A and B are shown apart, each in its own frame.
Chain A
């Protein structure tokens, strides 16, 4: 029986066929890697390397600062050429280490060693996951070990492995599920062991039947694991919406999935956990989808963290003549980039390149109160009213209308006939509210 989905949502054109058929290829080692020190939500890690340092593959180049923080590792062996400020795909300029590979790709000691995971207890797995620098690879980059450490009064009874990949264009998770289902499953079981949960659901949207089949086959001999096929509606893969679809549980406003006893992890994160625990490989590479009509050969590339967008584009045959926009992430939630010096981080699931004709420039108008955004908002907020409050700079009122619960999925902006930059408004309100909170102490 198909599961009834959450309230709202939209049906954008998915355009996944551009890259969904392309098997994962390994991206050759580029001549230069720009590795950002800040690759997780929470506290930025403390850089450990400086210009002129030699690094080995897997060596820690920035150590975690505080609990909500993870270390960053060198993606290959080579020399740190400089430490400078570079564009970070999330939309800021941040310090990064420029590493020039020496070509030998030599692992640091204690990395890339096979390990028998059967005897490991939860704490040990959590420690490995932390040391490997794992973050949520669906895009938000929240440190995985923090998610794996719920407080004692919030027991987890369900693990959801998120393979919904509802964002248009992107196919990285799809290819991973198709090509490495066993690894994902093993990683999922490691998470289940840490949390001591008996029920695991792998959630995949119905538009990926091959992935569903592959994951079902991998889950067949495991107990307590099932694969659910979900309706295709954006944002099905958003944590709170996914939980509602699968369990009917509602994460309270301002709450976390652990408040309703659920943990959600992306398939990529599960696979990275498998690599980290079984083979002592820190998170230094990921699958990145390079797609869109603006690129000659769309592809799914197994890419080192720190590979610049320029190198990815060159690998995919270059840009077509009238490419007008480069987006890190998908078109719904991604961030437009101004420089191809931006580089792949742990949360970069893809880059989408669009032609000029596909990116209409428009002037936004006043809200006409048609209410379409209210009908599609999966968080059941009132985007129309919120955007008007924010235009008036009435941020307290916006907070009262739960501006902070916005997940920035972009459904409201997608349907707005006045072409209002809704998400931009909400991000501004959140920034202002953060500023006010800081001021108040």
Chain B
């Protein structure tokens, strides 16, 4: 009995010495900053930064290999938090950006060329003549962007368009690269006036394919402050560095320009109604 207790105690003593030595010799030094930064990051592991996950980004930031604002999802607040952990100063970028689907051509206003009965996915649909929409720049509405969004920020409207909820969007840009039509753009979240069209077709063709497409009449260009809206191959494009007064939208004969109210639902109704007053 006693022998058993003594021998076990001796073994335990020996093993604990072994462990104590191993803990010293094989110690892995973890920078406490890494853990703190990881804590500050959103923790969605979405991969928007281009790295496998938040912990990897935290490591890189702590090592100085990545910028403190490298997380597009966290935005300014996270960057500030990381800056204080790293004892760096952060000037800020001046607001976050959100994704916006640059197409207002829903099923009521945009013509279709054929009946597509294939895989419910925009990339697949685009393989066949670029999709069923008569406009080759139009949103196909088969929820590829909504499928890749890690934050559930994209809704599919019953009218056949994808709509990004700017309050939920974190700006990770996953949908931007997933869209086979390339019509999702990043815009500053605080801007309310948008031109919801991506068509570079000439006016005559646009009129045939879509009731809310930009026909390149340039009325908005004249109406808006100097340089705020410019023409890019038959398409009016907003320079988001400049502010545009909401009444510019009224100059658009096609109702392509929309004013986003504080309420997302309002925009939805406007888009769904096809801009018809």
Partners in one complex: yes
CA distance A347 to B148 in the complex (A): 37
B130–A93 touching, CB < 8 Å: yes
Asked if A338 and B118 make an inter-chain contact with CB atoms under 8 angstroms apart, the answer reads no
Stretch at the interface among B121-129, B154-162, B231-239: B121-129
Does A424 lie within 8 Å of B127, measured CB to CB? yes
In the complex, the chain A residue whose C-beta lies closest to that of B201 is A85
**A425 vs B121: C-alpha distance in the bound complex, in angstroms?**
10
* Shortest beta-carbon distance from A147 to chain B in Å: 26
- Total interface residues on B, CB under 8 Å, equals 15
CB distance from A34 to the nearest CB of B (A): 15
Q: Is A92 an interface residue (CB 8 A)?
A: yes
B127:A431 contact, CB within 8 angstroms: yes
Contact residues of A: prevailing secondary structure: mixed
A374 in the interface (beta carbon within 8 A)? no
A93 is contacted by which of B117, B118, B124, B129 (Cβ under 8 Å)?
A: B129
Tell whether, in the assembled complex, residue A428 and residue B123 are in contact, meaning their CB atoms are under 8 Å apart.
Answer: yes
Q: Which residues of B contact A92 (CB under 8 A)?
A: 129-130
Q: Is A421's CB under 8 angstroms from B119's CB?
A: yes
> Chain A: interface residue count, which band?
10 to 19
Q: Which residues of B contact A428 (CB under 8 A)?
A: 119, 121, 123-124, 127
- CB pair A424–B118 under 8 Å, yes or no, is yes
Beta-carbon contact of A432 and B113 below 8 Å: no
Is there contact, CB below 8 Å, between A338 and B114? Answer: yes
Select one of B123, B127, B129, B147 contacting A87, CB under 8 A.
B129
Q: CB of A201 within 8 A of chain B? A: no
CB neighbours of A424 from chain B (8 A): 118-119, 124, 127
Once the chains bind, are B128 and A335 in contact (CB under 8 Å)?
Answer: yes
Instruction: Report how far A93 CA is from B130 CA in the complex, Å.
Output: 8
Q: Does B136 contact A (CB under 8 A)?
A: yes
> At the interface, yes or no: A361 with Cβ under 8 Å from chain B?
yes
Considering the complex, give the chain B residue whose CB is closest to the CB of A420.
Answer: B119
Instruction: Please provide the chain A residues from 384 to 438 with a CB less than 8 Å away from any CB of chain B in the complex.
Output: 393, 421, 424-425, 427-428, 431-432
A93 adjacent to B136 (CB under 8 Å): yes
A91 close to B127 (CB less than 8 A):
yes
Give the chain B neighbours of A393 by CB distance below 8 A. Answer: 147-148
Closest to B123 in A: A428
- Given A92-B129, A93-B129, CB of A421 within 8 Å of CB of B113: no
- What mask results when residues 344 to 362 of chain A are scored 1 for a CB within 8 Å of chain B, else 0? 0000000000000000010
B119 touches A91 (CB 8 A): no
CA distance A27 to B24 in the complex (A): 89
Known contacts A338-B114, A338-B129, A339-B113: A425-B119 contact under CB 8 Å: yes
Residues of chain A lying within 8 A (CB to CB) of residue B113 = 338-339
CA distance A431 to B178 in the complex (A): 12
Write out the residue numbers on chain A whose beta carbons fall within 8 Å of the beta carbon of B147: 393
Q: List 29 A-B contacts (CB under 8 A).
A: A87-B129, A91-B128, A91-B129, A92-B129, A92-B130, A93-B129, A93-B130, A93-B136, A335-B128, A336-B128, A338-B113, A338-B114, A339-B113, A361-B117, A393-B147, A393-B148, A421-B118, A424-B118, A424-B119, A424-B124, A424-B127, A425-B119, A425-B124, A427-B124, A427-B127, A428-B123, A428-B124, A428-B127, A432-B123
Binding site for A on B (CB under 8 A): 113-114, 117-119, 121, 123-124, 127-130, 136, 147-148
**Which 10 A-B pairs give the minimum distances between C-beta atoms?**
A338-B114, A428-B124, A91-B128, A338-B113, A424-B119, A424-B118, A427-B127, A421-B119, A91-B129, A428-B123
With A92-B130, A424-B119 known, 19 other A-B pairs at CB within 8 A are A91-B127, A91-B128, A93-B130, A93-B136, A336-B128, A338-B113, A338-B114, A338-B129, A421-B119, A424-B118, A424-B127, A425-B119, A425-B124, A427-B124, A428-B121, A428-B123, A431-B123, A431-B127, A432-B123
